[in-house]
Structure 1
Amino acid sequence: MESLKHRAKAVGVKQTAEAVKSGSAQTVYIAGDADSALTRPIAELCRTHGTELIYVGSKKELGRACGIDVPSAAAAVLKC
């Protein structure tokens, strides 16, 4: 998750889903405490597009890793 602070990223459910759909997401992170109704479609997109998917502890943790002061359910590191 350290790469989230220093690399181009998409943060939030909508931006992460768009990054996966467009093929620009390298790795997707989903918070374990996020509502599955929001994150399940992203997980399915990752499987369909062959994008690496990693579950992390919490939305607060993920937001902090992204360098933002609010919780985030999902984020993606973008391809260079």
Structure 2
Amino acid sequence: MPLNELAVPNRLTGERQVRRALRAGRLVKLFIAEDADASVIRGLEEEALNANIPVERVESMVMLGRACAISRGASAAGIGS
């Protein structure tokens, strides 16, 4: 999984930022941690698929957080337009 895609200035980190961008039509790609809360995963993934946005699953919240250069785990991240 190419998490280096998240090394861009238009990176979004966290469920709230990702959900806002998704609803505003500004999300290009979604990354979801497999160990995140099931309701978070289900909702975000469903919205992304309905909007034809590619979804990539990441092994853990810690890995996703590190890829986003934060010191804690992240349930979701994305690339904005």
TM-score bucket of the superposed structures, by smaller chain: over 0.9
Backbone CA RMSD of aligned residues = 0.9
- Kindly, what percent of the aligned residue pairs are identical? 28
- Which residues in structure 2 correspond to 1:1-80 (within 5 Å)? 1-79=3-81
**Is there any run of 5+ residues in structure 1 with no aligned partner, and where?**
none
CA distance in 1: counterparts of 2:30 and 2:38, whole angstroms: 15
Shift of 1:7: 3.4
TM-score by length of 2: 0.91
TM-score by length of 1: 0.92
**Is there any run of 5+ residues in structure 2 with no aligned partner, and where?**
none
2:22 is paired with a residue of what secondary structure?
helix
User: Which consecutive segments of 4 or more residues in structure 1 shift more than 2 A?
Assistant: none
Pairs aligned (count): 79
